[in-house]
Amino acid sequence: MAPSEGESGNRDTDVIDTRVWLGLLFDHMENQVHFGDNKAGLLLTADSILLAALTTLVSGNGTFLDTLSIPARWGLTATLSFLAIGIILALITILPNRGNLWAPQSAPRSRVNFARIARLKAGEYELLALEPNRAELNRDFARDIHGKAYWAARKFRLLYFAIAATTTAVLIAVSTTVFEVAFRSIN
């Protein structure tokens, strides 16, 4: 029976080598971690500029606060608070993974995780790196990919809340400004 359209007839040529796709997946996870770090860095910069501008505005002229209505003062306080929350979350987002800094003693002896490699003496790592069969190496690689995916997901959750805090701060600032302008034009 001839293979149907779309089938090659040889199933082995349709399947990518495990180590190849694990390598591609590892690179993808690493790129996601870098992407999250870059976004967090941009957010940290934006929040810092906004916070510095507002702080300068508030502290640069002592009479400025006296001219604001009570709701505008509350809006300014809320804006500063949400910007500070955004900065803190962005800083936490760009922190390195503690597991890559201090691999626990109980962690499996991985051939591909640099924190675990660094805990070994050079000769120990040489023996560990040269002894595995393909399945053991693939398992180590897969375990490290899972850890990296978990870390990337954590970064994106933190980044989501950092962006939400910044967005809230901007919305409060704009609303407060519109309210204050409208309030002053009425009075």
d(CA 168, CA 163): 8
Task: Look at residue 89 and tell me whether its pLDDT is greater than 50.
Answer: yes
Q: Report if residue 122 sits inside a domain.
A: no
Q: Report if residue 111 sits inside a domain.
A: no
Q: pLDDT-based confidence at 119, cuts 50/70/90? A: confident
Q: Which domain holds residue 27?
A: 18-57+70-102+134-186
Provide the number of structural domains found in the chain. Answer: 1
d(CA 13, CA 21): 14
Q: Report if residue 114 sits inside a domain.
A: no
In terms of phi and psi (left: phi > 0; alpha: psi -120 to 50; beta: otherwise), the region of 132 is beta
Of 23-32, 52-61, 128-137, the range with the highest mean pLDDT is 23-32
Q: Report if residue 179 sits inside a domain.
A: yes
- pLDDT tens figures, 22-54: 888 888 988 998 999 999 999 999 999 999 888
In the structure encoding, which two tokens stand for residue 113, read together?
Answer: 């995780």
Q: Report if residue 110 sits inside a domain.
A: no
d(CA 115, CA 104): 9
Q: Report if residue 63 sits inside a domain.
A: no
**At 133, is the secondary structure helix, strand, or coil?**
coil
Task: Give residue 13's pLDDT.
Answer: 54
Q: Report if residue 170 sits inside a domain.
A: yes
